[in-house]
Amino acid sequence: MEPHSRQASSDQEAETQLRVIVMDPTWRKFVPHVVVLVSRAAHVAGLAAGSSVSLVLADDRLVRDLNMRHRGRNKPTNVLTYERPAPELVLALGVIRREAAAAGRRLPHHLAHLVVHGALHLLGFDHDHPGDARRMEMAEARLLHRLGVPNPWKSAPRIDAAGARP
């Protein structure tokens, strides 16, 4: 059988294991179908291709504790990315809600952006230098477009917390 045949594709999909762990059930209140959304964003970003990946939907306290333990920063951040022992993204609900509100973005769109952002980090992208940052932003915009999410790097009409335009 050819490497690019349907069977080869099915075998690769069988090896893929994307786990979404909802540690803070409040995620389900604020983002309907949150597991579907983050799974789709991870898949579009290529995160789940032939690997075992965990997406952890956590609260700010857990993310703050992890950020302190692993990065020496005693504050929560929107997303933490771990490559070892297995790829993992940990997302903080409170931080992400506040960022979305401050930027006038819909919470599901901002969450999808951060999953894509973290996935790109796992795939080797970084934003430490201006050229790297620009390449990462362009990749994020391209992937988010495939998800139907507006480009977060362009100015957009503001929306209120309920998702309506003021």
pLDDT in tens, the chain (166 residues): 333 323 333 343 445 689 999 999 999 999 999 999 999 999 999 876 667 899 999 999 999 999 999 999 999 999 999 987 889 999 999 999 999 999 999 999 999 999 999 999 998 898 888 899 999 999 999 999 999 999 998 865 554 555 555 4
CB 123 within 8 A of CB 47: yes
Exposed/middle/buried for residue 22 (C-beta within 10 Å: 0-12, 13-18, 19+): middle
Condensed to tens digits (0 to 9), the pLDDT of residues 141-159 reads: 999 999 999 999 886 555 4
pTM score, two decimals? Answer: 0.82
Structural domains present in the chain: 6-146 (3.40.390.30)
